[in-house]
Amino acid sequence: MSDFQINPNDFESIYLNISIFNKTAKTELKEGRRYIGFKAENITSEDLIIHIVELLKDGFILEVPQKTCSKNHLLEISIEFSNEDQEDLFRFHGTVIENAPTISNNRDSITVKVSPDALSEYKRFEATYLKRQEEIWTFFKAAKG
């Protein structure tokens, strides 16, 4: 019998559910829906999902649906994080410092700088996210041999 056994849970990745409340425009993206005021649009779509593209020292680059926000808009961001071992909720606010269209249709790439008073929460999220990425990397190195 081999010392190396495959655990199906090793293939489970991180689940992230990201919501954005645009404090400037008073709109929200949450669970695949766009809210304007308290009213949800009648559209639920994969196109309304938010993706993390890159973690930065004091913020991140997100891919969002077009017309989610503009440069200098103030955002409140909530990230539900879960994997096999952990569930957590991270909340912070920041400012859009760059907004650019992406190659894919109806999407923008935004750079968000996290507010100084929210940096400790952002760093907690970053450490949690990177820890899981390191676990995945270690698994693949072990599997490769």
Domains, the chain, ordered by start: 13-144 (2.40.10.220)
Reading the block at residue 62, the tokens are 């997100």
> Please, where are the H alpha helices in the chain?
119-144
Residue 50: the pLDDT is 92
pLDDT of residue 97: 97
- For residues 134 and 92, what is the distance between their CA atoms, to the nearest angstrom? 24
Question: pLDDT tens per residue, the chain (145 residues)?
Answer: 445 455 555 555 778 899 999 999 999 998 888 888 766 665 556 578 899 999 999 999 999 998 899 999 999 999 999 877 789 999 999 999 999 988 777 899 999 999 999 999 999 999 988 887 777 677 677 777 6
The answer to whether 76 touches 23, Cβ cutoff 8 Å, is: yes
Q: What is the pTM of this model?
A: 0.80
pLDDT of residue 45: 60
